[in-house]
Amino acid sequence: MDHFEYRDGALYAENVPVADIVQRFGTPTYVYSAATLSRHYRVFDDALAGIDHDICFAVKANGNIGVLGVLADLGSGFDIVSVGELERVITAGGDPARVVFSGVGKRVDEIERALEVGIACFNVESEAELACIDALAQRMGVVAPISLRVNPDVDAQTHPYISTGLKENKFGIAIDRAEALYADAAVRAGLAPIGVDCHIGSQLTTLSPFRDAVGRVLDLIDRLAGRGIELSHIDVGGGLGVCYRDETPPTPAEYASAIADMLGDRPLKLILEPGRVLVANAGILVTRVALLKPGTAEDDKHFAVVDAAMNDLIRPALYAGWHRVVPLQMNTHGGQTRSWDIVGPICETGDFLAQGRELTLAAGDLLAVRTAGAYGFTMASNYNARPRAAEVMVVDDAMHEVRARETLADLMRGERRLPFS
């Protein structure tokens, strides 16, 4: 469920007509619904009632400070992969003590800053990183809480670019190496092994790979306990999918039930790192049709050129991601009804938001790209020297600009000609 709906033929975000947002902020613009975001968090949290747990939102899915602030106010923790994401969380009011730090290439300055603010845990992804964190923690006179991110070699049955749990993926430590590394970590003065972490991929639409991976991790925990290494938490990552088109992902309740069954009576705190499932349907990308380029009678390829592009939403080009595209106003004009490819102005054949969509369109029409709240703006770029879109948060009947549209001056800030040219 989300809070984007038609009323008298017009698309609303909560109690604001989306066309009013466009009138004020222009296009392309990302529009988020605070009510949808809050509802999705609470549904996920409620599904885990009775289980000692901590929800750590995956900031990579949507790092807007307005979005993070809503989640922080709801009591969310955060999963980060860079010091930039850490600073965003702190600026948004998040508690560093509720932050877990993932990622295969943490820099020295990033580790130092995380130690300085006192994050909850480092998810360590290599032997080299383990040694680095130990050395830095000892130099700073602190003890770093760590878990090992183990790679269980489980196929998540998702797009290969967002699969992270196979042995050929760069992530984590092979599960058959983990016991030895935990034994090593346990005797290092700068480290406190407190948990184990596993994340097998994103946009999971079935529970079987997840059960397989968690089962292997629980076996590891039991073996470690037998060696006197007692862990206090298991971090099962995120990745629960959403419906973009016709997927039928598990519900949060089904997901939570599977976890509870597997944990049994083990005294472990559960940490989860959901991202997409919380924010995807809480956001849309609004764009305007610049012009129509219909094909000939012999050519059935018809293009609707819009002012959003692959630099604004790269998922269709990068992952062959499918997004529903709907008009802001139900058809009330004599536009052309065709099977349209919705394309942007960037000089790439891969610059499309959708292909083969049956729509009635005219130049100037406004369209909403649905389920765009996750991996939308956060993956945006300035390719073709295009300023990035505005971001707007709707709260009931009010609209709030949570990121201003970039200007051309923003694009060139920090650049300069050679001094002798």
- Answer for the pair 58, 14: CB distance below 8 angstroms, yes or no: no
pLDDT digits 0-9 by tens, 142-189: 999 999 999 877 654 543 433 444 455 677 888 889 999 999 999 999
Q: What residues act catalytically?
A: 347
pLDDT digits 0-9 by tens, 83-103: 999 999 999 999 999 999 999
pLDDT digits 0-9 by tens, 223-238: 999 999 999 999 998 8
Beta bridge partners of 336: 361
pLDDT at 169: 62
pLDDT at 156: 46
Other beta carbons within 10 angstroms of residue 75's beta carbon come to 13
Supply 10's token pair: 């017009």
pLDDT at 162: 39
Residue ranges in the chain whose pLDDT is less than 50: 156, 158-166
pLDDT at 417: 93
pTM listed for this prediction: 0.94
pLDDT at 168: 56
Domains and CATH numbers, the chain: 4-31+280-412 (2.40.37.10), 34-276 (3.20.20.10)
pLDDT at 73: 98
